[in-house]
Amino acid sequence: MTLPCGRSDDALRRHDLVFVSPAAWRALLEPHPDLAREPLVAGWADRGWPLIVRRIVPGEAKGLALGLPLPPSEGKRRLAFMMPSGDLAATAPPPLLSAAMDAAPPAWRPTMERLIDLAAVHDGEARVFGSLAWRLLTGLDYLTARSDLDMLLPLPPAGDVGRLTAELAALEIAAPMRLDGELVRSDGAAVNWRELHEGAQEVLVKTIRDATLASTRQFLGADARS
């Protein structure tokens, strides 16, 4: 499980976790009486479960853009909220992949162990988001037979990117699930690892503010570690 920390809201990134007080959660649900009547949603903050930081949609009001994906039993709906930044109680980064081992299907665990080792070889830590992360955080059954393993890996120096993505592609061949996820730059900007592996000249760069096309060279060159 994650431990809430004191990261300021202006330093938050996509996939970070945000914890809100039950009172703030009730206030957030007031404009959504249909959601407030749903026991799982209404009691979310009472259980100490987090929301996730998402990308801001153009035209949204000011505030912190948060998401709440519900499990398959609740229709896999993705709820979106805008919360006053002063209402957050605590934040945490996405869970480490190693922390999600017991929450994962047994067949996934050898692949996860190799991913953890692979990240360490490149001087980074593998983190997890998506269905497996939500199962870890809530204990609810988010995983299905079609679930991917959604991972976050730090972007290595530009010269090692090709080696890392080739290793991910090789690992996926023998994996029982699809490996999805992003390589995350030191400033929080991220690109899907497949785009880099396929040698795209342009990649979709995602940040908390937007998603824009940029040249691969620009994305890699903007990292202070490159």
Q: Quick: pLDDT tens for 44-99.
A: 999 999 999 999 888 787 889 999 999 999 999 999 999 987 888 899 999 999 99
Entry pTM = 0.91
Domain C-terminal end among 52, 71, 92: 92
pLDDT for 1 equals 40
Whether 34 is catalytic: no
- Given the residues 9, 16, 117, 148, the one annotated as active site: 148
Instruction: For Cα atoms 182, 103, 126, give the angle at the middle one, nearest 5 degrees.
Output: 30
Q: Please, are residues 94 and 154 in contact by the beta-carbon 8 Å criterion?
A: no
Q: What integer pLDDT is reported at residue 139 of this predicted model?
A: 97
Domain with 190 in it = 97-221
pLDDT of 205 reads 98
Per-residue pLDDT at 10: 61
Q: How many domains does the chain have?
A: 2
Residues 175, 92: Cα–Cα separation, whole Å: 29
pLDDT in tens, the chain (226 residues): 444 554 455 689 999 999 999 999 999 999 999 999 999 999 999 999 999 999 988 878 788 999 999 999 999 999 999 998 788 889 999 999 999 999 999 999 999 999 999 999 999 999 999 999 999 999 999 999 999 999 999 999 888 999 999 999 999 999 999 999 999 999 999 999 999 999 999 999 999 999 999 999 999 986 544 3
Which residue in 46, 123, 141, 150 is the catalytic one? Answer: 150
Q: Is 210 a catalytic residue?
A: no
pLDDT at residue number 5: 54
Q: Are 134 and 63 within one domain?
A: no
Same-domain status, 106 and 160: yes
DSSP state of 8: -
Q: Distance (Å, rounded) from C-alpha 30 to C-alpha 81?
A: 12
Rounded distance between C-alpha atoms, residue 189 and residue 109, angstroms = 28
104 and 196: one domain?
yes
Each as own residue / partner, the long-range contacts of residues 19-25 (CB below 8 Å, 24 or more positions apart, any chain) are 19/45, 19/48, 19/50, 19/51, 19/88, 19/89, 19/90, 19/91, 19/92, 20/45, 20/51, 20/83, 20/87, 20/88, 20/89, 21/45, 21/87, 21/89, 22/46, 24/83, 24/87, 24/88, 24/89
- The residue out of 59, 92, 125 marking a domain boundary is 92
Identify whether 3 is part of a domain: no
Q: What's the confidence (pLDDT) of residue 159?
A: 86
Among 92, 122, 149, where does a domain finish?
92
Do 63 and 129 lie in a common domain? Answer: no
